[in-house]
Amino acid sequence: MKVASVLGLALIIFICGISTGWRLLFNLAWLIVAVTLFGYLWTRTAFRGLRVLREHPQGRVQVGEPLRERLGLRNLSMIPKLWLEVRDGGSLPGRGNGNIVSLWSTSEKKWRRKTMCTRRGRFVLGPLTITSSDPFGLFSRTVQAGPRWELLVYPQIVALSDFSLPALELPGGQVTQRRSFNSTPTISSVRDYAPGDSLSTVSWKATARQQKLMVKEFELDPVADVWIILDLNRRLHTEVASRDRQVPDDPERRYLNSSVEYSVTAAASVAASMLDRGRSVGLLAWSTEKLVVPPDRGSRQLWKILEALAVVEPSQAPPLQEVLVSYQSFFTGNHSLLVITPDTSGSWQAALDIAGGRSLPVTALYVDATSFDSRMPRLLPQQRYQRSRIYSNTLRNGDDIAGVLGGGMRSRMGAVR
């Protein structure tokens, strides 16, 4: 539109020059045409010799942590780039405004960008969207350049220094006779050293007797595996707290704005706490599809669980009682269940008996959805479904997860373990 107006003005001036014979009008008309042509050629060559400099961002970042990047542009041509607007075309929220960059011939410019990660999930970084304009503002041109990367933002982890699950130690437990790749208190045998074995597992006494390196093999200890069961039924969850239930900004809880985020953060925090103590932890959930992370130990297991939790969303999943029945094959053996759910009616507890979990120690962490939105249905406990021995606690909007879970889990009789 600008170009058409400018050329129209040049035409009018040219016609006036013909009518009046005034030479200055002819010169002015040709000057306007020459400036327009110059602007067009400027924008057509603006991106020649331009290279994007972008380092691959850090591999792992969690909610509440900043993503730090180094970006830059390099001009390999002799034509200066006087005005370049650089924006990131990725999907990560909170990217803010772009940068205005000027480059002289054969020069480069680098800058740093810090983005606070406020949401978990899978996001795209890049490519960069670069816009250039001629000095007169008549033409502009936009291109996309640079690599395209995927970024996974893991959920926040809250330190639970005093957290413990009741009945985690199974009285009268027996060694499972299964080999473990991690060190446990129970040693089953020794064998020859193999490349890749950790030196911490070397049995020096056996090595001295055999005159060759011998390593210890371990049994899984007689302690219950922990299954974290996450209820993601959309009917019972709030994805954003209603305006009348907004909690004042708190640096510790600014990202916990829904029952979903409280549930996911609690699951991640419990998993990290249990794995840090050497426990074997697994995850069961039903998001858009069934999600199973088998129990295991170690830091690799933590990242497996966090990767799964990073992308879960509430969905039209079956009710929790049906989910428990569908997962009944996982409830054989020594297990302790932690159920994180907004379903306070307790109707899902009867499903544990159907699923073969009658004798399993069960802990319920209720997330009160009505504290996030008063329009959510209030589910009253139904006595006929209640187990005689179940430990529970409740998280509400604004609660400190570490404070609630660090205070222990209460049984129905009020005993604190």
pLDDT in tens, 299-338: 999 999 999 999 999 988 888 888 888 888 887 777 888 9
Which residues have CB under 8 Å from 281's CB, separation 6+?
A: 225, 226, 227, 228, 271, 274, 275, 295, 296, 297, 301, 305
Residue in the block written with tokens 């094959």: 329
Residue 289 is encoded by which pair of tokens?
């599809």
Q: Are 259 and 372 spatial neighbours (Cβ–Cβ below 8 Å)?
A: yes
Q: What is the DSSP string of 211-280?
A: TS-EEEEEEPPSSPEEEEEE--BGGG--SS--GGGPPPP-TTTTT--SHHHHHHHHHHHHHHHHHHTT--
Residue 367: the pLDDT is 92
Residue 167's CB: how many other CB atoms inside 10 A? 17
pTM of the model: 0.76
Residue in the block written with tokens 């809880």: 253
In what helix (H) or strand (E) does residue 300 lie, and over which residues does it extend?
helix 299-311
Residue 412: the pLDDT is 40
Q: Which fold has domain 225-411?
A: Rossmann fold (3.40.50)
3-state secondary structure of 29: helix
Integer distance in angstroms from the first to the last C-alpha of the chain?
Answer: 74
Q: Are 272 and 359 spatial neighbours (Cβ–Cβ below 8 Å)?
A: no
325-329 LR contacts (CB < 8 Å, sep 24+): 325/351, 325/354, 325/355, 326/286, 326/290, 327/229, 327/284, 327/292, 327/355, 328/354, 328/355, 328/356, 328/357
Residue 86: the pLDDT is 92
Sorted by where each begins, the domain ranges of the chain are 50-154, 179-219, 225-411
Residue 327: the pLDDT is 85
Computed over every residue of the chain, the mean pLDDT equals: 81
Residue ranges in the chain whose pLDDT is less than 70: 1, 58-59, 166-188, 218-224, 242-245, 247-253, 353-359, 377-389, 407-417
Which residues have CB under 8 Å from 310's CB, separation 6+?
A: 120, 121, 122, 152, 153, 154, 155
Question: What's 50-154's CATH class?
Answer: mainly beta
Residue 354: the pLDDT is 64
Residue 184: the pLDDT is 54
Residue 221: the pLDDT is 52
β-sheet bridge partners, residue 150: 124
